[in-house]
Amino acid sequence: MATWRKVTLLLALPFLFGRTAFATVFTLQNFCGYTVWPGVLSGNGAAVLGDGGFSLPPGASLQLTAPPGWSGRFWARTGCNFDESGNGKCATGDCGGLNCAGGGAPPVTLVEFTIGTNDNDNNKDFYDVSLVDGYNVGMGVRPSGGTGDCQYAGCLTDLNGSCPAELQVTDTGNNVVACKSACAAFNTPEFCCTGDHSTPQTCSPTQYSEMFKSACPTAYSYAYDDASSTCTCTGSDYLITFCPTTGS
């Protein structure tokens, strides 16, 4: 009986003390009507997930597992053509090849994560959906199985359809494929939060960031949009959706 109780206690330890023995599972799902090529960039020397990039056809999903303390970002690439060696380019979000070694070229929608280390002082995950580098594809993040605030974050609106002419990126057929940030379009301190506008007190929302925020209230619209855009959760897995809808 004593041996049975000891084994039972050992099996229960991970559940008693949280996600100590477990990694975080990201499920990437494509709800777009076209193929996207997710890009993945790991930060701070963290493990590279999904070889840095891969193809995800319409309706497909793929799971990636990240260790405690992982940080990085996900984004969608569109209009890609790669050869058998993974060489090629994308119309939006390009990173120089199928397997990204760097970030996606703006304008691009980003999902950003810093996963907790599972110790008592740093067990929260931080995540957001960012339009600071512009927009190319709608994205959403839904936590699963965690504790805390664990809010949904995302951009459900197709901003390409309402993008002002001065921010539009078009393809050879004059179709809008992405929407620049005002910083990328105009490169001035008030839009980029640089120089004399490099603090939260001196860099205020602009007509362009307010347009993004109105369309996507839970996404970052400019550099200092932290209060309504940074989400936290503890011990969660995450569903990352491309082209989310209110029903997904």
pLDDT at residue 145, as a whole number: 92
**Residue 246: band (very low, low, confident or very high) from pLDDT cuts 50, 70, 90:** low
pLDDT at residue 10, as a whole number: 33
Instruction: Kindly report, residue by residue over 155-213, the tens digit of the pLDDT.
Output: 999 999 999 999 999 998 999 999 999 999 999 999 999 999 999 899 999 999 999 99
**Residue 227: band (very low, low, confident or very high) from pLDDT cuts 50, 70, 90:** confident
pLDDT at residue 44, as a whole number: 79
Per-domain boundaries in the chain: 22-159+211-242
pTM (2 d.p.)? 0.88
pLDDT at residue 121, as a whole number: 63
Instruction: Kindly report, residue by residue over 96-133, the tens digit of the pLDDT.
Output: 999 998 999 999 999 999 999 876 667 899 999 999 99
**Residue 6: band (very low, low, confident or very high) from pLDDT cuts 50, 70, 90:** very low
Instruction: Kindly report, residue by residue over 29-80, the tens digit of the pLDDT.
Output: 999 999 999 999 999 788 899 999 999 999 999 999 999 999 999 999 999 9
**Residue 223: band (very low, low, confident or very high) from pLDDT cuts 50, 70, 90:** confident
pLDDT at residue 4, as a whole number: 36
- One-letter amino acid at 146 equals G
pLDDT at residue 102, as a whole number: 92
The fourth-level CATH superfamily of domain 22-159+211-242 is Thaumatin (2.60.110.10)
**Residue 225: band (very low, low, confident or very high) from pLDDT cuts 50, 70, 90:** confident
pLDDT at residue 122, as a whole number: 74
pLDDT at residue 100, as a whole number: 95
